[in-house]
Amino acid sequence: MRFEINKDKLLYHLLIAQKALSNKTPNPALQGVKLDVEKDALVITTSNAEISIKIVVEDASLSVESEGSVLIPGKYFIEIIRKLDGQMVHVSHVEDNLIRIEADHSDITLNVLELDDYPNLVFKEKDESVKINVRTLKTVIRQTAFSTSTIENRPILTGVHLQIDGKTLTAVATDSYRLSRKTITLDAEYDPMNVIIPGKSLEELMKILENNQEDVTVHFDQSRVLFKYANVSFLSRLLEGNYPETERLIPQEFPVKITFNKEALMLAIERASLLSKHDSHNAIVKMTLRQDDTVTIASNSPEIGRVLEEIHPVDEVVGSPIKIAFSSRYVLEALKSFASSEVAISFTGETRPFVMTGEFDEAMLQLVLPVKTD
């Protein structure tokens, strides 16, 4: 195996592959980057227990002298390529267990890992796949994945629930304290589909998706999902089990609705969170709608001080005075996911979920459970 390639091109692709590289793994082979050098392509593969990435590099700067496969310790390989001088890098398999990297004035040899130990990863495409525009997919992930649970006692909640019904795709995520739901319309009819994709996988995928004009094709399997984007194949395992029924948990009627300027509301909540004793990411903040339709945001830490913020709703308020307490982090993260500059918050009661919607965030809702004070 022997090839030469533009160093920056190689690094660019290695950094994508790095997203699926394991540092801590019971299988040492997974610490490696697998290179398959073919006649006119370099194939880079990485994998951890959750996701696997395969990139087919067919760059003009690539010249293959001889074909072959090798498994290189990923951490060292990527750092070496990152630090190299010169434009081109020359990589060759010199002995059974050594790889040689040459560039400019550098000549580096590295022990390779046992290729036979590498798992056989199947990036098989299906005949039928779902096509989604990159921008749309990124929006779906950005507006839902943050609500997945990060603790493992209910593993199913660490995933985003995706359902396809005809031309409609609905994504739902909840950690039981807040819930995000986004619906999009696909450009064709598809067979019904119902899967749960780990939220972490989707967040890694989002980092790879760059060009908003392109499409991603999604291939579903029983236990895995494959995203094909440009020259990248991104494989994630699916979570097994039934996602809890969430639709009936979302209130349908709201006696109180207040519309805010999103930035003004976020700043007020952030200021009210500053004096939290424990951490300012998770302060308890009280929102009060007063008789005169002004809204106050308040927090109180007896040993530090208190904050009182007054906000004027940007639209006519519907409903009567209400007082509700919530964890600032959940509301701030939800608000951040909106593209709209005005966000409406609808309430059903002091101990009932409240829902946020925005005019320019079609078919998206963010729900937060309040904190009960008594």
Binding site for another protein (CB under 8 A): 149-153, 174-177, 179, 244, 246, 249, 277, 284, 300-303, 325, 327, 351-353, 367, 369-374
**CA-based Rg of the chain, rounded to a whole angstrom?**
25
CB of 35 to another protein, least distance (A): 36
The nearer residue to another protein, 133 or 280, going by C-beta atoms, is 280
CB of 121 to another protein, least distance (A): 26
CB of 333 to another protein, least distance (A): 13
CB of 179 to another protein, least distance (A): 6
CB of 300 to another protein, least distance (A): 8
193 near 121, Cβ under 8 Å?
no
The nearer residue to another protein, 126 or 154, going by C-beta atoms, is 154
Cα torsion angle, 317, 323, 328, 331, sign: negative
d(CA 258, CA 297): 13
The nearer residue to another protein, 157 or 216, going by C-beta atoms, is 157
The nearer residue to another protein, 94 or 249, going by C-beta atoms, is 249
The nearer residue to another protein, 31 or 327, going by C-beta atoms, is 327
**Long-range contacts at 80-89 (CB < 8 A, ≥ 24 apart):** 80/108, 80/110, 81/7, 81/10, 81/11, 81/14, 82/11, 84/7, 86/7, 87/6, 87/7, 87/8, 88/4, 88/5, 88/6, 88/7, 88/61, 89/4, 89/5, 89/6, 89/7, 89/10
Instruction: Give residues with Cβ within 8 angstroms of 7, minimum separation 6.
Output: 81, 84, 86, 87, 88, 89, 103
The nearer residue to another protein, 98 or 249, going by C-beta atoms, is 249
The nearer residue to another protein, 66 or 176, going by C-beta atoms, is 176
134 near 205, Cβ under 8 Å?
no
Q: Read off the DSSP letter of residue 317.
A: P
d(CA 202, CA 14): 19
Residue with tokens 């589909």: 193
CB of 20 to another protein, least distance (A): 24
3-state secondary structure labels for all residues of 139-159: HHHHHHHHHCCCCCCCHHHHE
CB of 297 to another protein, least distance (A): 16
